Amino acid sequence: MPSWVRPAPNSGFFSEKASPTDQVVVRSVDQAWRQLQPTPGGLDTKDSGQGQGMYFDSLDSQLAQPGPFWMRVFASGVDWAPAWVATACHVHGYGPDYDGEEHLPIWDECVWGHLLETYRALFVDRNLRADPRLRFVYVPGAFTWAEYDYETVAAAVKAGDLTFASYKKWYDHAWRDLADLFGPYRDKLVFTGEDYPFGPFEPQQQDLLAQEATAAGLGIRNGITEEFNFHLNEAPAYGSHIQPDGHLVVDENLPVHDGNHVVATENECYTDCGFDTDDVGYAVEQSNLKALQLRMNWIYVVPDQSRLDDFRPHWDWVRLELGHTAADSADAWADLRTAEDTYWTDATGPFTSKDKWRSKPFVRNLERWLVQRDVPGAVAKRATVDVRAKVFVPENGTAYEGLSTDRAQGSPALAFALDRAFFGGHPAPVLVKVTYWDAGGAFRLEYAGEHSPTATVRPAGTKAWKTATFALPDATFDGSLPGGTDLRVVALSADAIVKLVRIVRSTAPSA
């Protein structure tokens, strides 16, 4: 990255413990509901507690430590919640979940009411919501690991104790309740559910529920971008939608992307959490590219499990990418690939006809303000030199890394269009980095500018990915190339195969 780049406001790495040498400066403050309110009324801020198999120091002790923090209140577990709540509300636990824990029905209005009282005492009465050190809070504090999955909900439905109508009646006001409670600080709230949840209700009932939380003013978090091909491409709460040509488009005008909210993920399960892979570097890179494609601004990491030391240059780059917009980012890029999203092999969702997603279930590329376009003379074809299948788990599908020119079909080029918010059309110096297959054909760049085309890159035949860097002193990127594009990789005698194209500003953007 250029030397002038700085981390974006409201962005970074967070974890259980701070690790300044790893640029992890935001630690957790975790409390169990039973610890905070062992009896009705008031708060106990001096006692320790436990939840999810973890020990928690007292609230006072944790808050006395210096530095920024994020929070979880482990609320729903039968062993986390105050015993008096189950008695007062005449409820019992449902489960067990995959960690063997049973959970109280958080959708019960009595349980929810008492939890809101605790949140009010903690965040409003103590004014913790206004503490500038508090970066964000995972809500609502359910279920396993305070992640809002649907195991517990499904158990209640199976027991005959919950219908969609009663669940939805609670759900429709729950996130507004929290937003109202936090008032001007509602953008510190982070809903831990997901689009298209694996729940017990009909798809048309449950698929888009996460949007209700973001519509109420909350941020959003996902915990499984390690499965970078699966389930996270059509993600309405993030504004990400699969287009008919298989590309992904993100609506950056959503309030959740206003820079004040939290859009987060957790990338630490590479050789942990029951996952394993022979190529950790590939998995780390692709999961982080997926997070950045979704315009994340925060990533939960665990230094050892996230392999921060092993891939420090990459992680440093990710940290400087998080939270930036097209107007102030140091770079724009397109990760070229054809990847299978097996979630959509059977599920239809919004894709009820072939013309709504012609390549279903294959997604084209991960793109961040630089978009590869199929236009006359530059219709890409799938590359087959680097094929990865079932990384971590079978549902992660098959990915064909890289795209190829198709000279035999009259397409000797790959074409790209740059977001106008990134570049205003005035000549400026940039670097263009092209990661190419070193056993493919020779190529050069064409771009809108006085010195186009560039010198030729002649691969050496090593059957590996290599990167060529082009210094363009006068690029305009004004859409004047064929098909309204800004940049072309042109194969000269044999097909060129390209994995990543990245445009890097040589000078800082003006305010």
Could you tell me the pLDDT band of residue 328, with boundaries at 50, 70 and 90? very high
Q: Are residues 375 and 262 in the same domain?
A: no
Q: Are residues 250 and 392 in the same domain?
A: no
**Residue 268 counted as domain residue:** yes
Q: Residue 500 belongs to what domain range?
A: 335-505
Amino acid in the structure at residue 417: A
pLDDT at 463 over 90: yes
Sign of dihedral through CA atoms 235, 302, 192, 343? positive
**Residue 7 counted as domain residue:** no
At 129, which CATH number? 3.20.20
Q: Are residues 339 and 418 in the same domain?
A: yes
At 411, which CATH number? 2.60.120.260
What are the pLDDT digits (tens) for 363-374? 999 999 999 999
Q: Are residues 117 and 180 in the same domain?
A: yes
| pLDDT, average across residues 280-285 | 97
Q: Are residues 139 and 253 in the same domain?
A: yes
β-pairing verdict for 497-505 and 428-437: antiparallel
Report pLDDT for 450: 77
Most confident of 133-137, 352-356, 476-480: 133-137
Q: Which residue has the higher pLDDT, 511 or 403?
A: 403
Classify 337 as helix, strand or coil: strand
* Cis peptide preceding 203, ω within 30 of 0: no
Could you tell me the pLDDT band of residue 347, with boundaries at 50, 70 and 90? confident
Q: What is the mean pLDDT of the chain?
A: 96
pLDDT at 380 over 70: yes
**Residue 464 counted as domain residue:** yes
Q: Are residues 432 and 305 in the same domain?
A: no
DSSP 238: G
Last residue of a domain, one of 277, 299, 324: 324
Report pLDDT for 61: 98
Q: What percent of the chain has pLDDT over 70?
A: 99
**Residue 510 counted as domain residue:** no
**Residue 454 counted as domain residue:** yes
| pLDDT, average across residues 475-480 | 90
Report pLDDT for 423: 85
Domain count, the chain: 2
pLDDT at 283 over 80: yes
Report pLDDT for 425: 66
Report pLDDT for 442: 98
**Residue 177 counted as domain residue:** yes
Q: Are residues 65 and 21 in the same domain?
A: yes
Q: Are residues 318 and 360 in the same domain?
A: no
What are the pLDDT digits (tens) for 60-116? 999 999 999 999 999 999 999 999 999 999 999 999 999 999 999 999 999 999 999
**Residue 2 counted as domain residue:** no
Last residue of a domain, one of 302, 324, 346: 324
Supply the angle between the helices 164-182 and 109-119 in degrees, to the nearest 10: 10
Q: Are residues 282 and 361 in the same domain?
A: no
Q: Are residues 112 and 152 in the same domain?
A: yes
**Residue 412 counted as domain residue:** yes
Q: Are residues 401 and 481 in the same domain?
A: yes
Last residue of a domain, one of 270, 291, 324: 324
Q: Are residues 342 and 312 in the same domain?
A: no
Report pLDDT for 511: 56
pLDDT at 2 over 90: yes
Residues with Cβ within 8 Å of residue 380, at least 6 apart in sequence: 336, 372, 374, 403, 404, 405, 406, 411, 414
Could you tell me the pLDDT band of residue 311, with boundaries at 50, 70 and 90? very high
